[in-house]
């Protein structure tokens, strides 16, 4: 009988990457993925506790599982991701039906975790024809785990442990396998990805050069960067390696030096703006995203105004904004009250979104008439879509496109969050092998 499994994930792209690797391993053991948790023999949940809303969704999912497992006690449940602490006593008390905890601090190879979890001793097998079924144009790949910093609001170092880099040969093998299955773009992930390799005597720039040599891989991105760790070597690698996209996610979190100090970010706004200016001079056409937390402990109206002013000055392409919510074990929870009222946090969040919508529409309007190379990802409501090298979503009409093609488009119109494009009339189409499954 075939083992049916269901892998669920929420939160960051690292969870998405780990969930995909887990699915691959379960499939390689002869398992078959199913969309509905109710039909699975094995359920693996990749949890997130970075924000309260995400954590609540994990609890909701576990309550759903509780009901299903009551009727099907043979189901095996594994909880992975950042909800899994060193001591799982409380979780085990609340959810006694969980069979296995997979800690993100564990460096045991995933395959061993799966075999251990399922008590499998079947020979490892992967049918390459099976593997070709999936269309996976852009895939996240975890290159390092953990973080040595202690930003006062952040729970990640407690859950994912200290910084550890995966060997570059192992990463390369994983990417080569993805490319054989149709992946054309990889997004390299690390809590501070710029620090990749410092514990194994290499650098992210060298890894980027190494995986650039993989035939069939068209694009490389990486997340998430840190202002004091993004050095000149890395900027020059992005600028000089053709496969590495001009796309950087550099969180600033706040535009006020006192708030940054309370957050223990380890830099001032001046340093951040200096790094952004240097990046823009070294990397032409850079797409820049940042993250902001509003309503951090004690954030005054003046401090918030400084964040708005910084965003007006830096004019990022994208701003991810979140409201502060206190998390267990963090220094901010212990040191200060969560004293910005929820309504005020919402107002500040809305104010940033309004400002950023205006900035994005102006930046995007500047692209109308330009020629952009996009990697086609799929079709949505009769429109094909893909992304520019700077990570802008572009929709276009085409009768013949396929996921995985790299196409030249002329941008015809723009809004704050996407662009519309027209296929160039005499495109030098770059159709990539192998072909993807055709839509019915």
Residues in contact with ligand SF4 by the rule CB under 6 A: 147, 149-151, 154, 156-157, 191-192, 226
In this complex, which beta carbon is closest to ligand SF4, that of residue 192 or of residue 252? 192
- Least separation in angstroms between residue 150's CB and ligand SF4 is 6
- Least separation in angstroms between residue 160's CB and ligand SF4 is 8
Q: Find all residues with CB under 8 Å of 330, minimum gap 6, and list them.
A: 152, 153, 154, 155, 158
Packed helices 110-118 and 13-28: angle between N→C axes, nearest 10 degrees = 60
Angular region, 262: left φ>0, alpha ψ -120 to 50, beta rest = alpha
Q: Whose CA is closest to 28, among 112, 139, 102?
A: 112
- Least separation in angstroms between residue 212's CB and ligand SF4 is 26
- Least separation in angstroms between residue 226's CB and ligand SF4 is 6
In this complex, which beta carbon is closest to ligand SF4, that of residue 49 or of residue 151? 151
Q: Find all residues with CB under 8 Å of 419, minimum gap 6, and list them.
A: 364, 367, 372, 388, 392, 393, 394, 395, 411, 413
Q: What tokens appear for 287 in the block?
A: 């797409």
In this complex, which beta carbon is closest to ligand SF4, that of residue 134 or of residue 196? 196
In this complex, which beta carbon is closest to ligand SF4, that of residue 252 or of residue 411? 252
Residue 341, phi then psi, degrees to nearest 5: -60, 150
Q: Give dist(CA 206, CA 327) in Å, integer.
A: 36
> Do 204 and 197 form a contact (C-beta atoms < 8 A)?
yes
- Least separation in angstroms between residue 53's CB and ligand SF4 is 17
In this complex, which beta carbon is closest to ligand SF4, that of residue 8 or of residue 226? 226
Residue 104, phi then psi, degrees to nearest 5: -65, -10
- Least separation in angstroms between residue 340's CB and ligand SF4 is 19
In this complex, which beta carbon is closest to ligand SF4, that of residue 107 or of residue 424? 107
In this complex, which beta carbon is closest to ligand SF4, that of residue 226 or of residue 230? 226
Q: What tokens appear for 70 in the block?
A: 């009551």
- Least separation in angstroms between residue 192's CB and ligand SF4 is 5
Q: Exposed, middle or buried, 68 (CB in 10 Å: 0-12/13-18/19+)?
A: middle
- Least separation in angstroms between residue 317's CB and ligand SF4 is 21
Q: Exposed, middle or buried, 354 (CB in 10 Å: 0-12/13-18/19+)?
A: exposed
Q: Give dist(CA 412, CA 409) in Å, integer.
A: 9
In this complex, which beta carbon is closest to ligand SF4, that of residue 117 or of residue 226? 226
Q: Give dist(CA 381, CA 106) in Å, integer.
A: 42
DSSP string, 244-258: B-SEEE---B-S-HH
Q: Whose CA is closest to 294, among 286, 285, 303?
A: 303
Q: Give dist(CA 115, CA 396) in Å, integer.
A: 45
Tell how strand 383-387 and strand 371-380 pair up: antiparallel
- Least separation in angstroms between residue 62's CB and ligand SF4 is 25
In this complex, which beta carbon is closest to ligand SF4, that of residue 113 or of residue 332? 332
- Least separation in angstroms between residue 318's CB and ligand SF4 is 18
In this complex, which beta carbon is closest to ligand SF4, that of residue 193 or of residue 217? 193
State the CB neighbour count (10 A cutoff) for residue 266: 15
- Strand arrangement of the beta sheet that strand 76-81 belongs to: 32-33, 4-9, 42-47, 76-81, 100-102
- Least separation in angstroms between residue 329's CB and ligand SF4 is 12
In this complex, which beta carbon is closest to ligand SF4, that of residue 125 or of residue 150? 150
């Amino acid at each position: 009988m075939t083992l049916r499994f269901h892998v669920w994930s929420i939160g960051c792209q690292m969870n998405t990457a780990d969930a995909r690797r887990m699915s691959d391993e379960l499939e390689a053991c002869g398992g078959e993925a199913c969309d509905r948790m109710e039909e699975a023999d094995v359920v693996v949940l990749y949890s997130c506790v970075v924000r309260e809303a995400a954590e609540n969704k994990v609890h909701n999912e576990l309550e759903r599982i509780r009901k299903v497992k009551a009727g099907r006690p043979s189901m095996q449940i594994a909880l992975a991701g950042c909800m899994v602490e060193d001591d799982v006593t409380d979780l085990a008390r609340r959810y006694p039906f969980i069979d296995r905890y997979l800690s993100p601090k564990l460096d045991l190879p995933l395959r061993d975790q799966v075999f251990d979890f399922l008590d499998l001793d079947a020979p490892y097998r992967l049918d390459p024809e099976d593997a070709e079924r999936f269309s996976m144009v852009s895939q996240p790949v975890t290159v390092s785990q953990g973080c040595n910093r202690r930003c006062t609001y952040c729970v990640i170092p407690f859950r994912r442990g200290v910084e550890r880099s995966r060997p570059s040969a192992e990463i390369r093998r994983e990417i080569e396998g993805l490319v054989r299955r149709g992946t054309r773009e990889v997004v390299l992930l690390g809590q501070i990805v710029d620090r990749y390799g410092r514990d194994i005597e290499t650098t992210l720039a060298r890894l980027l050069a190494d995986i650039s040599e993989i035939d069939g891989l068209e694009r490389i991105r990486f997340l998430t960067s840190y202002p004091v760790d993004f050095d000149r070597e890395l900027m020059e690698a992005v600028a000089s390696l053709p496969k590495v996209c001009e796309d950087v996610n550099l969180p600033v979190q706040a535009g006020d030096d006192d708030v940054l100090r309370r957050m223990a970010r380890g830099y001032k706004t001046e340093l951040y703006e200096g790094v952004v200016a240097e990046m823009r001079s070294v990397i032409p056409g850079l797409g820049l995203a940042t993250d902001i937390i509003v309503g951090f402990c004690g954030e005054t109206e003046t401090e918030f105004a400084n964040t708005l002013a910084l965003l007006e000055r830096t004019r990022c392409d994208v701003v991810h904004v979140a409201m502060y919510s206190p998390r267990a074990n963090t220094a901010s929870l212990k040191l200060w009250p969560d004293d910005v009222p929820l309504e005020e946090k919402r107002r500040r969040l809305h104010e940033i979104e309004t400002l950023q919508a205006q900035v994005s529409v102006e930046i995007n309007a500047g692209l109308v008439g330009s020629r952009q190379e996009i990697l086609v990802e799929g079709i949505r409501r009769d429109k094909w879509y893909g992304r520019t090298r700077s990570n802008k979503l572009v929709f276009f009409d085409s009768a013949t496109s396929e996921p995985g093609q790299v196409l030249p488009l002329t941008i015809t119109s723009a809004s704050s969050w996407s662009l519309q494009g027209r296929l160039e009339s005499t495109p030098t189409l770059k159709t990539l092998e192998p072909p993807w499954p055709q839509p019915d």
